[in-house]
Structure 1
Amino acid sequence: MPLTQTPFIRILTEVMDNMFDVMALDVLQSFGSACKAHRKWVIEYLRRRKRCLLAKFIADLASFDDTLRATSSVISGSVALQFLLPQDATRWPSTDLDIYTTAAGYKGVADALLCEKYILISTGSSRPCYTQSTIRTVFTFAKGGLRIDVVISASACAILPIFQFHSTIVMNYLSADSFFSAYPLFTNQFRGLVNPMSMKDGRHTMKVVCALVKYENRGFSINASANDWESEDEEEHECRDNVCCPHYIRATNDVACARVVLEESASVQSEDWDAGDDVVMWRLGGETCDEADNASVPYVFVL
């Protein structure tokens, strides 16, 4: 009998999974960095987590991963957030999936969804939710009670719209082989900064307000400044000097981001950024944390 099918290994896997279910991603990364055996356990667990999260939407995940690779597309939204947080803390139901791709990648993604028996129910409506939206258009597919939105980036970089999301809570994505989070420290603490880039004509739309309320109902604290979480046992937030400050210039290859490679041969946390990947720079901006009269302009662009 192969070792991987012995009763002992099956029981050990179940015990480890139960332990990992209460760990946030940063804790899993620390556990996996201890030794090769730990790293293997963590990566296999994360791959199972990913399969479980996507199983209700995608039957042939291996083939769909091939499509994500070929089209440089990613999965974001609630599913990516659930991957980041402990499984026991994210029991909310999920009936929709968000896929971000480019105009060139759309056909490959659409063909894959049609093979999964999804039906195109929207022929591509423009979504000008923000003053300077990085979204070109959105196609909606449905199957039973499930819905998948395929979001087409206005640029050749599929991930660009993710940095215009309503808050830092959902600035995460899953690719075929990895996971990325822009604000893992805040998100693991169930905290989020509201994103001025999600405003339209200087105001938040009703859709954005509803999204913020939804996540507050799920236990998240959402503020405009890190100073709003100041307590006696925390240092006062230094505006512009802290990497988590909304006025700090960030990039997808900086040390404050979480990058996890879902391969057995790779490190649980990759410290290096693939030179072939797009590097996105952004600043949330808005009113300054120290109430000075020098608000910073929000922006996001691809290097």
Structure 2
Amino acid sequence: MYHLPLEVKRHIFGYCTIQDLAILAQASTELNGLARDYLQHQLHLLSLPFFDNTATLMSILRSCDAVVSGSCALHMLLPANKTSWVPADLDIYVSCRHMACLSVLLEHNGYLIMNQRAVDAGPYGSSSIRSVILFANGWRTIDVIVSSTVAAMSPIFEFHSTAVMNFIAADHIFCAYPNEGMSFSVYEVVTEVEKNGVENL
């Protein structure tokens, strides 16, 4: 497999789930490198509709301690060659203390606020979502979910027992349900999304 063209390797990996890739990455140094390359390539494809390159998205997530969740994160976890749908928008979760920073960075990349609404936590105050802000650049939209806590991902864990409990951070991908049967286990796949590696994709 090591001598196959890169495109063929990526096509083969496109039939793997995130759990398959994690297992392969632990088998050998060579497979670890191939799995990492594939995940970086998938992040590249995920980022392109919204930003000029993956480094821009990763820099925003790192600077604002934010994460990507929703359909984009789920799409990263599923086998690419068996997934017929494509995410229509990008969901970024950020804490209230980093919202101003995120807004500046998105505006710097051509996005403007189109809509903003506060979220009522209800009589029991159970929701950790403070507000939802819609950004758009004319052809793509980004939903920013602002957490009322210091942790950007707090609202994600309110979606109990669903496939939505996943997120992409600047240096790792988290999946609460890595098995196809969505069993109750926690798994973390660490991917080093370094600028040099991304630019060479």
Q: Same fold per TM (> 0.5)?
A: yes
Q: 1:67: how far off? A: 2.2
**What secondary structure sits across from 2:96 in the alignment?**
coil
* Alpha carbons 2:130, 2:147 under 8 Å: kept: yes
Q: Following TM superposition, where does structure 1 have runs of at least 4 consecutive aligned residues deviating by more than 4 angstroms?
A: none
The percentage of aligned residue pairs carrying the same residue is 32
Q: Does structure 1 residue 35 correspond to structure 2 residue 28?
A: yes
* Alpha carbons 2:121, 2:128 under 8 Å: kept: no
Deviation string 1:226-264 (CA, Å, 9 cap, x unpaired) is xxxxxxxxxxxxxxxxx72xxxxxxxxxxx212111128
List alignment gaps of at least 5 residues for structure 2: 195-201
Paired residue type of 2:41: R
* Residues 87 and 59 of structure 1: CA distance in aligned 2, closer, same or farther (over 3 Å): same
Alignment of 1:109-128 (within 5 A): 109-122=102-115, 124-128=116-120
* Alpha carbons 1:44, 1:264 under 8 Å: kept: no
Deviation string 1:196-251 (CA, Å, 9 cap, x unpaired) is xxxxxxxxxxxxxxxxxxxxxxxxxxxxxxxxxxxxxxxxxxxxxxx72xxxxxxx
After TM superposition, the structure 1 stretch with the greater mean CA deviation from structure 2, 139-148 or 150-159, is 139-148
Work out which of the residue numbers 45, 54, 58 in structure 1 matches 2:38: 45
* Alpha carbons 1:126, 1:136 under 8 Å: kept: yes
With the length of structure 2 as denominator, give the TM-score of the two structures: 0.87
* Alpha carbons 2:43, 2:54 under 8 Å: kept: no
Q: Matched residues in 2 for 1:84 and 1:137: separation? A: 27
Q: Matched residues in 2 for 1:138 and 1:67: separation? A: 18
Q: Matched residues in 2 for 1:97 and 1:44: separation? A: 22
Number of residue pairs aligned between Structure 1 and Structure 2: 191
Paired residue type of 2:149: S
Match of 1:290 in 2: none
With the length of structure 1 as denominator, give the TM-score of the two structures: 0.59
Q: Whose RCO is larger (CA < 8 A, sep 6+)?
A: 2
List alignment gaps of at least 5 residues for structure 1: 1-7, 192-242, 245-255, 266-303
Match of 1:263 in 2: 192
Alignment of 1:214-253 (within 5 A): 244=184
Q: 1:129: how far off? A: 7.1
Q: Which has the larger radius of gyration?
A: 1
* Alpha carbons 2:47, 2:53 under 8 Å: kept: no
* Alpha carbons 1:40, 1:264 under 8 Å: kept: no
**What secondary structure sits across from 1:183 in the alignment?**
coil
